[in-house]
Chains A and B, each alone.
Chain A
Amino acid sequence: MSIPLSLYVHIPWCLHKCAYCDFNSHKLTGPLPEAQLLAALERDLIADLPLVEERELCSIFIGGGTPSLLAPEAIERLLKLLGRHCRLARDIEITLEANPGTLEKGRLADFAHAGIRRLSLGVQSFFTQTLKRLDRIHTGPQAEAAVEEALSADFESVNLDLMHGLPGQTFEGATADLERSVGFSPNHISWYQLTIEPNTLFYRYPPELPSDSTLAAIEQAGAKILASAGFVRYEISAYAQANHHSRHNLHYWEFGDYLGIGPGAHSKFTLANAKILRRQKLRQPESYLKAKNYLAKEAEISEQLLSFEYLMNALRLVEGTEDALYEERTGMPIGQLANWRCRNLKRGLLEPGSQLRASELGLRFLDDLLVDFSLKPQ
Chain B
Amino acid sequence: MTPLDKIRNFSIIAHIDHGKSTLADRFIQICNALSEREMLDQVLDSMDIERERGITIKAQSVALSYRSENGEIYHLNLIDTPGHVDFSYEVSRSLAACEGALLVVDAAQGIEAQTVANCLAAMEQGLEVIPVINKVDLQQADPKAVKLDIEEVIGLDAASAIEVSAKTGFGVQRVLEQLIDRVQPPTGSNSSALRALIIDSWFDRYLGVVSLVRVMDGMLKVGDPVIPVSTGETHRVDLLGICTPERKPKEYLGTGEVGFVVAGVKNINGAPVGDTLIHAQHPNTLALAGFEKIKPQVYAGLFPTDSDSFKSFREALGKLALNDPALVFEPETSTALGFGFRCGFLGLLHMEIVQQRLEREYALELITTSPTVVYQVLKRNGELVKESNPALLPPPEQIQEMREPMALVTILTPKEYVGGIMTFCLDRRGEQRSMDYLGSQVSMVFVLPMAEVISELFSRLKGISHGYASMDYHFLCFQQAPLVRLNILINGEKVDALALVVHKDQAQSRGRALVERMQEVIPRQMFDVAIQAAIGNHVIARTTVKALRKNVTAKCYGGDITRKKKLLAKQAAGKKRMKQLGRVSIPQDAFLAVLRIDD
Contacts and interface: CB of A to CB of B under 8 A. Distances in A.
Interface of A: 8, 22-23, 190, 192-195, 197, 212, 215-216, 236-237, 249, 251-253, 258, 260, 265-266, 268, 280, 308-309, 312-313, 316, 347, 361, 363-368, 370-371, 374-375
Contacts of A23: 557
B575 A375 contact: yes
B552 A365 contact: yes
A347 B583 contact: yes
User: 4 closest A-B pairs (Cβ-Cβ)?
Assistant: A252-B558, A364-B550, A192-B554, A366-B552
A367 B526 CA distance: 11
Contacts of A363: 552
A313 B556 contact: yes
Nearest to A313: B558
Contacts of B560: 266, 280
A365 B569 contact: no
Interface in B23-82: none
Given A212-B549, A370-B568, 6 more contacts: A280-B560, A365-B550, A365-B552, A368-B551, A371-B568, A374-B572
B574 to A, nearest CB: 9
A215 B550 CA distance: 10
Contacts of A249: 558
Interface string B508-552: 000000000000000000100000000000000000000011111
A197 B567 CA distance: 10
B559 interface: yes
Most chain A CB within 10 A, of B555, B557, B565, B572, is at B555
Given A312-B561, A312-B564, A371-B572, A364 B552 contact: yes
Nearest to A8: B559
Contacts of A361: 526
Contacts, number: 81
B549 A364 contact: yes
B544 to A, nearest CB: 15
A61 to B, nearest CB: 8
Given A363-B552, A364-B552, A367-B552, A253 B575 contact: no
Most chain B CB within 10 A, of A23, A193, A265, is at A193
B576 A375 contact: yes
A18 to B, nearest CB: 14
Given A266-B560, A371-B575, A192 B555 contact: yes
B554 A313 contact: no
Q: Sort chain B's interface into a size bin.
A: 20 to 34
Given A192-B554, A212-B549, A313 B571 contact: no
Given A367-B571, A374-B568, A237 B554 contact: yes
A301 to B, nearest CB: 10
Contact of B559 (A212, A265, A374): A265
Contacts of B569: 374
B554 A316 contact: no
A258 B552 contact: no
A194 B571 contact: no
A268 to B, nearest CB: 8
A266 B549 CA distance: 32
Contacts of A193: 554
Most chain B CB within 10 A, of A197, A253, A312, is at A312
B289 to A, nearest CB: 55
A15 to B, nearest CB: 21
Contact of A252 (B554, B559, B572): B559
Nearest to B548: A365
A363 B552 CA distance: 7
Interface string B214-251: 00000000000000000000000000000000000000
A313 B561 CA distance: 9
B466 interface: no
17 contacts: A192-B554, A193-B554, A236-B556, A237-B554, A252-B559, A258-B559, A260-B559, A266-B561, A268-B559, A361-B526, A364-B549, A364-B552, A367-B553, A367-B571, A370-B568, A375-B572, A375-B576
A8 B557 CA distance: 12
Contacts of B558: 249, 251-253, 258, 313
A258 B556 CA distance: 16
A309 B569 CA distance: 12
A237 B561 contact: no
Contact of B552 (A212, A236, A252, A347): A236
